[in-house]
Structure 1
Amino acid sequence: MKATLSGNTVTGEETGENARQVDVVALGIVTAAILLFVATGSEVAPSVMDSLMERGPGPDNFMLNAFLLNIAIIIFGWSRYRQLCEEIQLRKAAERQARQLAETDPLTGFLNRRSFNECVDRLIDSAEASGQAVALMMIDLDNFKQVNDFNGHSTGDLLLRECAQRISQSLPKSALLGRIGGDEFAAAFVFDKSRADTLNQTASSLVKAIGESTQINAISIEVTASIGMARSDVPGVDGNRPDAHAMLEMADIAMYHAKRQGRNDFFWFEGLMADEMRFRTELESGIRQGIPRGEFVPYYEQQIDVQTGELTGFEMLARWNSPHFGIVSPDIFIPVAEDIGAIGDLSESVIRQALEDAKGWDSRLTLAVNISPMQLRDPWFSQKLLRLLVEANFPPHRLEIEITESCLHQNIAQARSLITSLKNQGIKISLDDFGTGYSSLAQLRSLPFDRIKIDRSFVTSLIENKDNAAIVHAIAMLGQGLKLPVTVEGIETGEVLEHLMQYGSIKGQGYYYGRPRPAAEITEWLAQLGSPSQPDMPFLIQKPMTADDAAKAEAGASSETEEPAKSPQRVGNA
């Protein structure tokens, strides 16, 4: 332990040694004074008694003065000795406090990362000597940032303390507990190799304990945990016996695997997870480097009036044209970009390109763009989007922003502010993936949406699944009742299209009309179709495909490569 005093670094051992030296000197002075007091007292006391009893002249003045001075020295020395003892005790208390601050987390009282690693290394050595092993858990709170953003950091701190208490109560009393990061905890404890099955029970009970609802400042807060686990008797990433650092890395990899598998669960480290993590790292690096290089490009999917076959516009879908992975689907890179905080720059880059592309289309064709939940929480998003419109000189009324329904429950006030701001600029707003989220009819009425979109999960199987057909019917009728236009995603067969035509004038999109294509192909295709001869004529009539045409289009589209060479399951949604 080190303490800093007047800019000079003094070790705790040196401080203690100096204190002991001063202590011995002061005690020696007092002892010598007492001995001298005894010597002079034995000489002066008889003379004093004789003088009082009038049997002699009294003590010698020099000896008497020496005796009195000696008494003063004893009183002063003892007082100083007591002061030095008190100073030493205060110094030791300060050293203990400084050591505690240096080794522990002040919020939870758990060990910090450095001291946790040191303690785990010692624990591994002692466990190995006794024929046992050490289990290490990496515990990460899911969506903790939202708690801070929506309820304030003071509430977040109280939640961290509550979770720390639950962790402490759920694990063995001898466990080492550490706070590794903002909302990351770690725990390590010794276990009997013959009873390793109990570790799963411990982890399961910990997940359950953290997942229980928490009341903080009269607010009910729901938070879950993703846990990664590693063992000291299982080789690390490099194949050697792991130390504390290696075990933390192993548990961290397993914890991220738990997040990609849906969160609120625990997983043990496995060797394949390391390969997955390396692939994830390559994706993250590629995304960060690819944004300024312009590797993220817009693709466009047709939006058609299902009654007339009229082309009304396109929805922009981002693709990653990676020199390493090839054409990457957004299902792969969007969750990763959101996790690393790059989704805002990525989205702006693709929207900027899409506005330039759409500017050259006929003025009646609209452009629909999805925004990420992360952008929905950005209070400056509407200003950023307006700047892009001004730079591209693109008419706001031709732009349609699609907001996913599941985003609304996260912060309805922020969503209402953003929607109102965008509509004031003339931009249209669609509620995307309707039926899959948590919005109520009251929210749908209170938010000024211009359109609702039925999620493809209900549409693709509506012929075979009566429940999905009923849901599509209900949403279509709801749109008519609220006078909200409806767009249907996932039209892939003529049967689905024929079923949807009963609902009147709605928009449709899906592989039945063709796969999403890059800007160059769309521009060429529009040029081949040509423009209508009269301004009031429908633009670019798109005749519905026959069954044979649809089959050929689907066969041709299936040969396209939209995913990297490596399996997307190795990335997953984080």
Structure 2
Amino acid sequence: MRHDKSKFFRTFGTSDRDFVTLGIAVAAIILFVGTGGKVLPQIVRAWQGIGEGPDTLLVNAVLLNIALILLGWRRYKELTQEIDQTREAEQEARLLAEIDPLTGCLNRRSLTSAVDIMIDQCEQNGQALALIMIDLDNFKQVNDLNGHKSGDQVLQQAATRIRSLLPRGGLLARLGGDEFTCVFPFDARAPERVEQIANRLIEKVSKPIEIGGQIAEVTISLGISASERSGQPAGGDVDAKALMHKADIAMYHAKKQGKNRFFWFESSMESELRFRNEMIQGLRRGIEKGEFVPFYEQQIDLETGKLVGFEMLARWNSPDFGIVGPDIFIPIAEEMGLIGDLSEQLIVQAFTDAKSWAPELTLSVNISPVQMRDPWFSQKLLKLLIEHNFPPHRLEIEITESCLHENIGMVRTMIASLQNQGVHVSLDDFGTGYASLSQLSSLPFDRLKIDRSFVKELSGSNSGAKIVQAMVSMSDGLHMPVTAEGIEDEKILEALKTLGKMKGQGYHYGLPENGEAVRKRLAESGQLAQEVPARTGTAEDPAPESRTA
């Protein structure tokens, strides 16, 4: 940048000297006219032999004038050409600073000032300004599968499609990565016009893109903000940064709601995002301070009514939010990459608790699909078993059907690795993830867990009972024992007993309890292995039941 500035000032000084050079050339011409008017006639007459030649000094002066004129004119042309080239270079540099070179759109730097100008113009013209934040969904997969060159072509094609739908007076910018922003004026009394454009963007940009004989499919999530809507001011200071911030929040909300859709910004979204950021900070502190604790839900042999084990459920004992259920903090932990540390912390606590139980009682632990993407997960778990001297045959790992669709080869390897060491592996929430029969028969699961959404139907229509009966029959054909989740009343329990031998769990047997409460329960029934120091905590679980650890 310093080099560019010095070059600019040198050029500016050269343009000043350019006028000096031109002045010298003009003066030489005037002098040539004065001396030449006297010398040239004498030279002509001398050539004709009718007079004496001119004075040598005057002749030399004329020749010098001619040389100065030629030199000055040549230098003037060179300087003029240099100035033109410098101006072109400055204009090109300005364009490069304002335009995204890949797509030809404006960049973030130039967009801010352009939007501020458009806001002022819209106010003068009695219009509102709409800003749509656009993010390509699953763009990383395009890069990973097809390479960054293909990804660049997808961005170029997306920019072309978006630009073709912009109304007159609209602007398109690429903020970086796979994020775009389009801005255009509209009638605040007709916000449906903006929604029409948003729907057309979703429809057109989401069409398959052919690149090098391959098809790339991307969808888009849109967030919309406006300087005014339905005659109501946007509230607060309306400038480019404020509109971009609000549209970005709305776009994030669209992604969270399933992607490939749009949302207008609402103030509640900002409150939700603020709460989420507080949760993220609280999660990090909570992991460091050990605020996450395991709760346990009883697992019962339905035929004998005997307690056979517990499923560990995660709870967050937060000083700021109270007892928080996993349905709230687990998705955030997965997204932030904290689920591995969180799960390991809980498993270690569960091993400590379970070692005080009778040795025939099992411990079931839910594993996040994010953890199953880690190729070293099985080795990490086996290392924990060794470090804490916990018998592998007492541990049952529960994975969901969604894991099977991501990388079934890796899942098969992990299952085999764990089972070789004596760990049992069950398929959790069976019936909700559309696992195929071929997948079930090819993967050596030790148990199937029927999801609570099917089990609760046993207390209602006959169709619910038929579905559960079909699941049990299929598990018998696969030689896999069954656990039924969500047993909430005696009617469901009696219906399950008629379907065969299985384990069951649910609120019918009591709410999940922390380690100390479980230890007291087992002490009363004579199912403790030995006396160990007790941990303090809340006995009852006020959080809603969840299958996620």
Q: TM class by shorter-chain length?
A: 0.7 to 0.9
Deviation of 1:347 (Å): 2.2
Q: Is the 8 Å Cα contact of residues 34 and 74 (structure 1) preserved in structure 2? A: yes
Q: How does 1:70-109 map to 2 (within 5 A)?
A: 73-109=68-104
Report the secondary structure of 2:304's partner residue.
Answer: coil
Give the C-alpha shift of residue 318 in structure 1: 0.9
Output the CA distance in 2 between the equivalents of 1:445 and 1:131: 67
Structure-1 residue corresponding to 2:543 = 562
Inter-partner Cα distance in structure 2 for 1:447 and 1:158 = 39
Give the drift of 1:114.
Answer: 3.3
Which one-letter code corresponds to 2:126 in the other structure?
Answer: G
Deviation at 1:59, TM superposition (A): 6.2
Q: How does 1:214-293 map to 2 (within 5 A)?
A: 214-233=209-228, 239-293=235-289
The answer to whether structure 1 residue 171 and structure 2 residue 152 are counterparts is: no
The reply to whether residue 410 of structure 1 matches residue 406 of structure 2 is yes
- 1:173-572 to 2 correspondence within 5 Å? 173-233=168-228, 239-423=235-419, 425-531=421-527, 561-562=542-543
TM-score by length of 2: 0.84
TM-score (norm 1): 0.81
Letter in 2 for 1:519: G
CA–CA separation in structure 1 for the residues paired with 2:308 and 2:141? 38
Distance 1:263 1:248 in 2: 19
For 2:73 and 2:392, the matched residues in 1 are separated by 88
How far apart are the structure 1 equivalents of 2:104 and 2:290? 47
Deviations 1:279-305 (A, max 9, x none): 223322222222212122111122333
Aligned with 1:123 (options 106, 118, 122): 118
User: How far apart are residue 123 of structure 1 and its match?
Assistant: 0.9
Give the distance between the partners of 1:450 and 1:47, measured in 2 at CA.
Answer: 122
Letter in structure 1 aligned against 2:523:
A
Runs of 5+ unmatched residues, structure 2: 530-538, 545-549
Distance 1:318 1:30, change over 3 A: farther
CA contact (8 A) 1:299 1:519 kept: yes
CA distance in 2, matches of 1:274, 1:410: 33
Listed one character per residue, the Cα deviations across residues 5-27 of structure 1 (whole Å, up to 9, x for unaligned) are 17xx5596x56633532443444
Cα distance in structure 1, aligned partners of 2:439 and 2:133: 39
- C-alpha deviation, 1:134, in angstroms: 0.8
CA-CA distance at 1:203 after TM superposition: 1.6
8 Å CA contact 2:119–2:227 kept in 1: the answer is yes
Question: Is residue 236–residue 246 contact of structure 1 (8 Å, CA) maintained in 2?
Answer: no
In structure 2, do the counterparts of structure 1 residues 476 and 108 end up closer, same or farther at CA, with 3 Å as the change threshold? farther
The residue identity in structure 2 corresponding to 1:561 is P
Among all aligned residue pairs of Structure 1 and Structure 2, give the percentage whose two residues are the same amino acid.
55
Question: Greater CA deviation, 281-290 or 53-62?
Answer: 53-62
Distance 1:424 1:22, change over 3 A: farther
- For residues 164 and 437 of structure 1, the distance between their equivalents in structure 2, rounded to whole angstroms, comes to 36
Give secondary structure in 2 for the equivalent of 1:429.
Answer: strand
Matched residue of 2:133: which SS? strand
Q: Write the letter of the residue equivalent to 1:248.
A: M
Give the whole-Å Cα distance in 1 for the aligned partners of 2:352 and 2:199: 52
In structure 1, distance between residues paired with 2:120 and 2:168: 19
Change (3 A) 1:158 1:358: farther
- Residues in 2 aligned to 1:412 and 1:30: alpha-carbon distance in whole angstroms: 84
Aligned residues of 1:233 and 1:241 also touching (Cα < 8 A): no
Give the Cα separation in 2 of the matches to 1:258 and 1:487: 37
Q: Give, in whole Å, the separation in 1 of the partners of 2:143 and 2:353.
A: 39
Letter in 2 for 1:331: D
In structure 2, relative to structure 1, the CA distance for the partners of 1:192 and 1:404 (3 Å cut) is same
User: Hey, what does 1:543 align to over in structure 2?
Assistant: none
Q: In the comparison of the two structures, how many residue pairs are matched? A: 533
1:21 match: secondary structure: helix
1:322, CA displacement in angstroms? Answer: 1.5
8 Å contact kept, 2:511–2:541: no
Q: Matches of 2:497 and 2:426 in 1, distance apart?
A: 21
Q: How much does 1:147 deviate?
A: 4.3
Residue 279 to residue 257, structure 1, CA distance change in 2 (3 Å)? same
Contact preservation (8 Å) 2:512, 2:541? no
Corresponding residue of 1:21: 16
Q: Which moved more, 1:154-163 or 1:260-269?
A: 154-163
What SS does the corresponding residue of 2:314 show, helix, strand or coil? strand
Query: What CA distance in whole angstroms lies between the structure 2 residues aligned with 1:389 and 1:308?
Result: 30
Q: Mind listing any 5+ residue stretches in structure 1 that lack a counterpart?
A: 534-556, 564-574
- Tell me if the contact between 2:208 and 2:217 (Cα under 8 Å) persists in the aligned partners: yes
Moved more, 521-530 or 269-278: 269-278
The answer to whether the 8 A contact 2:15-2:79 is kept is: no
Deviation at 1:186, TM superposition (A): 2.1
